[in-house]
Amino acid sequence: MVAVEKNLNPPKGIALVILAFLGFSIMSAFIKLCSNTGLDIHEIMFFQNLIALIIVLPWVFHGKKVSLKPQYPLLVFGRVITGLISMYFYFVAIKFVPLVDATLLQNTTPIFIPIIAFFVFRKKITLKMWTVMIVGFIGVTMVLHPGKGAVNPGDLIALLSGFFSGLSTVIIKLLDDKNESEKLIIFWFLAFTTISMGIWALADWTTPVGNAWLYLIGAGVFMALFQLLLIFAVKYASTTTISPFIYLSVVFSGFIDWIVWNQIPTLLTVFGATVVIASAIISALHHTKHNIPVHHK
């Protein structure tokens, strides 16, 4: 996605991306609260994406008429599937590990992109990028706390989420080059996820009760706000400008962990997070210079 020059307003774009990832962190907290009620992850994703779809639909059909028939159906399907898998793994992870750990590991996307871009675009990985990736993954191992014994499977699942988010991002780059409508991509992602998760949820359906409804509505509303605010952000500022602020979601998640669950990150986690975020920002800035989007949920 490339911002239109006449609309550039970097402070506004930065403010919007900060709000977008604050919304992402709040959405994640609602998902974790939903999981703690005993609801199945497929049912949670069904309601969340259904609510988000209802909110986003007016924007999809507002203004210039957009065809919902993909010009490149295989690429759109690939983006939908990789995005769904990334989201699924992330939501599974936050059920078992602190929100800040899952969010950090999910945000390793820019560290994976050079490897993915090598296989997809045949882009050579420079020595600088190899160094950035190695340092980034050293930071990841600090967050995983391998010295404490077996690594929590939830952390590895969150890391897989980051990898599939990288795949999704690269496919979005291909779609962007082919001028596929962003409205179409978001519509099919939300619609397919709603339908597929709804069918899957029927196998173990539990009707939500009490606070579960509030958590589901919150997850859906903030999912929609995240998507829309991020889209508006890149209309006012370049991805180079806004990419460093994406990682504020880790900070927001840390505060939510502390306030809601009274979980305080260890010093090793904080140090590892700093290393990962620094590596990801360097990698992200490198990608934007080469016209590769750095992040897209």
Is pLDDT at 150 greater than 70 in this prediction? no
Contacts of 221 (CB under 8 A, 6+ apart): 51, 52, 55
Say what the pLDDT of residue 4 is.
41
Any idea which of 114-128, 154-168, 205-219 has the lowest mean pLDDT? 114-128
The Cβ-side half-sphere exposure at 175, using a 13 Å CA radius, reads: 27
* Mean pLDDT, rounded, for 257-279: 85
d(CA 99, CA 108): 15
Say what the pLDDT of residue 6 is.
47
Could you identify the residue written with the tokens 């090793």?
Answer: 268
238 vs 12, residue with greater confidence: 12
Query: What sign does the dihedral 45-58-222-11 (CA atoms) show?
Result: positive
Any idea which of 88-97, 116-125, 188-197, 242-251 has the lowest mean pLDDT? 116-125
Say what the pLDDT of residue 283 is.
72
d(CA 161, CA 48): 18
Is pLDDT at 24 greater than 90 in this prediction? yes
Residue 94: pLDDT band (50, 70, 90) is very high
Cα torsion 33, 15, 87, 215 to 10°: value is 20
Say what the pLDDT of residue 141 is.
78
Residue 240: pLDDT band (50, 70, 90) is low
Say what the pLDDT of residue 276 is.
81
d(CA 106, CA 158): 5
Is pLDDT at 114 greater than 80 in this prediction? no
Q: Which of 46-50, 96-100, 160-164 has the highest mean pLDDT?
A: 46-50
Identify whether the C-beta of residue 123 lies closer than 8 Å to the C-beta of residue 85.
Answer: no
Say what the pLDDT of residue 238 is.
73
Query: What one-letter code names the amino acid at 19?
Result: L
Say what the pLDDT of residue 181 is.
86
Residue 146: pLDDT band (50, 70, 90) is low
Of residues 274, 289, 272, the one with CA closest to residue 139: 272
- Phi–psi pair at 9, nearest 5 degrees: -155, 80
Is pLDDT at 281 greater than 60 in this prediction? yes
Residue 290: pLDDT band (50, 70, 90) is low
HEC string for 65-86: CCCCCCCCHHHHHHHHHHHHHH
195 vs 273, residue with greater confidence: 195
287 vs 87, residue with greater confidence: 87
Residue 60: pLDDT band (50, 70, 90) is very high
Identify whether the C-beta of residue 273 lies closer than 8 Å to the C-beta of residue 250.
Answer: yes
Is pLDDT at 57 greater than 80 in this prediction? yes
Percentage above 70 pLDDT, the chain = 90
List the chain domain ranges. 5-289
* DSSP code, position 151: P
Of residues 66, 28, 19, 82, the one with CA closest to residue 226: 19
pTM of the entire predicted model: 0.85
Say what the pLDDT of residue 289 is.
57
Whole-number average pLDDT of the chain: 85
Say what the pLDDT of residue 52 is.
97
Say what the pLDDT of residue 41 is.
95
